[in-house]
């Protein structure tokens, strides 16, 4: 596997990052089976694992910790995230110094490790100054509990603000951004990807299969697959909505394009994401061993210009077919913020 540098850190990571969101109650509740999947990924050359405290309320981190307890920890780049609510207490969430200091200890305990390689802010917080967040993260780096820090699903303006604040206040800067990116969700090409390139940041996109839309099962001549996500996120899956009908048409066209090129749509989707020069590593999130095996070969694919031109004809560069797939809602556009 050809390893890539994460931003300007000098740390080499695999072009596929194993996402652990589906390990635990949210996906695969069998810890032993999940650990086997993790070990298979590591044996295949993946050295980068991404999880978050919120995934199955800490269970995902616990599974990753168990999987690396056999002596593999030193060879794996472990990334996790904080921000989402982890309890009924109103302060068990967010990007404040208070919560960061409390939650990092919980993540370290669940991961069974003394340090986190990459600690990421899962989402921006409109009520917390970025200097507050970066100051706390800088202290964790100084303490040796965290090696590097990053952001996830930040808009370009806040990525720039974080870089400026780190420089002006001499704080630890974000070395990477984790945005949504896929054949159907290309909005980050317009601003976020070039912004990260200008600031020397790595990019580790989540959901290269667009939440299952690019699994090959969403086709116009087939019934939509059963998924628990449809009930939780109707805005992204309800086919009665015109934007999702357009997604279905695009997924079908991309599936036919992959068939004509002699590859699976899964491979095309993942290879497309890691082909972009700004992207470091694409996060794959298998729930089963079969899903992992279907995704591993994507890093070896070469996509020629003619194929990429056809992709652009199906989904225009820099666009999200469904705005709900952006992963972040701008609070400035909320009804209360728009009232005169």
Q: Does position 249 have pLDDT exceeding 80, yes or no?
A: yes
Domains of the chain: 4-338 (3.20.20.100)
Query: 327's torsion region: left (phi>0), alpha (psi -120 to 50) or beta?
Result: left
* Average confidence (pLDDT) over 139-157: 98
Buried b (16+ CB within 10 A) or exposed e, 182-213: bbbbbbbbeebbebbeebebbbbbbbbbbbbb
Residue 219, judged by CB atoms within 10 A of its CB (0-12, 13-18, 19+), counts as middle
Query: Which parts of 199-304 fold into alpha helices (H)?
Result: 228-232, 234-237, 242-261, 265-275, 289-296
CA distances from 50 to 12, 37, 78, 330 (A): 15, 14, 6, 25
* Average confidence (pLDDT) over 43-72: 97
Strand order in the sheet with 146-152: 202-203, 174-178, 146-152, 116-121, 77-82, 48-50, 16-19, 282-284
Residues 284-338 pLDDT 10s: 999 999 999 999 999 999 999 999 999 999 999 999 999 999 999 999 988 888 8
Which band of pLDDT confidence, cut at 50, 70 and 90, is reported for residue 159?
Answer: very high
Gap between the Cα atoms of 340 and 291, Å rounded: 50
Residues 4-31 pLDDT 10s: 999 999 999 999 999 999 999 999 999 9
Q: For residue 252, what pLDDT is reported?
A: 97
Asked whether 99 and 136 are in contact (CB, 8 A), the reply is no
CA 29 to chain CA centroid, Å, is 21
Residue 99, judged by CB atoms within 10 A of its CB (0-12, 13-18, 19+), counts as buried
Write out the DSSP string of 292-309. Answer: HHHHHGGGG----HHHHH
Which band of pLDDT confidence, cut at 50, 70 and 90, is reported for residue 340?
Answer: low
User: What whole-number percentage of the chain has pLDDT above 90?
Assistant: 91
Give the catalytic positions in this structure.
Answer: 55
Report the first-to-last Cα separation within the chain, whole angstroms. Answer: 55
Gap between the Cα atoms of 204 and 174, Å rounded: 13
Residues 188-241 pLDDT 10s: 999 999 999 999 999 999 999 999 999 999 988 888 887 777 778 889 999 989
* Residue whose tokens read 């044996």: 43
Task: Report the predicted TM-score, pTM, of the whole model to 2 decimal places.
Answer: 0.95
On the CB side of 42, how many CA atoms lie within 13 Å of its CA?
21
Sign for the pseudo-dihedral over CA of 220, 225, 229, 230? positive
Q: For residue 226, what pLDDT is reported?
A: 76
Gap between the Cα atoms of 34 and 63, Å rounded: 7
């Amino acid at each position: 596997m050809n390893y890539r540098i994460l931003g300007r850190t000098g740390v080499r990571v695999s072009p596929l990052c194993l996402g652990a969101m589906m390990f635990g109650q949210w996906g695969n509740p069998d810890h032993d089976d999940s650990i086997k999947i993790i070990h298979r990924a590591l044996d295949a050359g993946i050295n980068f694992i991404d999880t978050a405290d919120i995934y199955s309320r800490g269970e995902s981190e616990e599974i990753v910790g168990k999987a690396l307890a056999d002596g593999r920890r030193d060879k794996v780049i472990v990334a996790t995230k904080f921000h989402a609510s982890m309890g009924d207490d109103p302060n068990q969430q967010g990007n404040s110094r208070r919560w960061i200091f409390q939650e990092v200890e919980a993540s370290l305990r669940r991961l069974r490790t003394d340090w986190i390689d990459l600690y990421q802010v899962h989402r921006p917080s409109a009520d917390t100054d970025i200097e507050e967040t970066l100051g706390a993260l800088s202290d964790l780096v100084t303490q040796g509990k965290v090696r590097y820090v990053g952001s996830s699903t930040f808009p370009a303006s806040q990525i720039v603000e974080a870089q400026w604040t780190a420089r002006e206040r001499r704080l630890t800067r974000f070395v990477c951004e984790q945005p949504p990116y896929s054949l159907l969700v290309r909005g980050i090409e317009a601003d976020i990807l070039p912004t990260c390139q200008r600031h020397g940041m790595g990019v580790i996109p989540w959901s290269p299969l667009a939440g299952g839309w690019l699994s090959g099962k969403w086709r116009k001549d087939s019934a939509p697959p059963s998924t628990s996500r449809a009930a939780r996120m109707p805005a992204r899956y309800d086919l009665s909505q015109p934007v999702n009908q357009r997604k279905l048409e695009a997924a079908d066209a991309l599936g036919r394009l992959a068939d004509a090129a002699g590859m699976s749509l899964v491979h095309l989707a993942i290879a497309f994401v890691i082909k972009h020069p700004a992207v470091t590593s694409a996060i794959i999130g298998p729930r089963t061993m079969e899903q992992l095996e279907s995704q591993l070969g994507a890093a070896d694919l070469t996509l020629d210009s003619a194929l990429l031109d056809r992709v652009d004809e199906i989904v225009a560069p820099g666009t999200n077919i469904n705005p709900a797939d952006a992963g972040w809602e701008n609070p400035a556009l909320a009804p209360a913020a728009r009232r005169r």
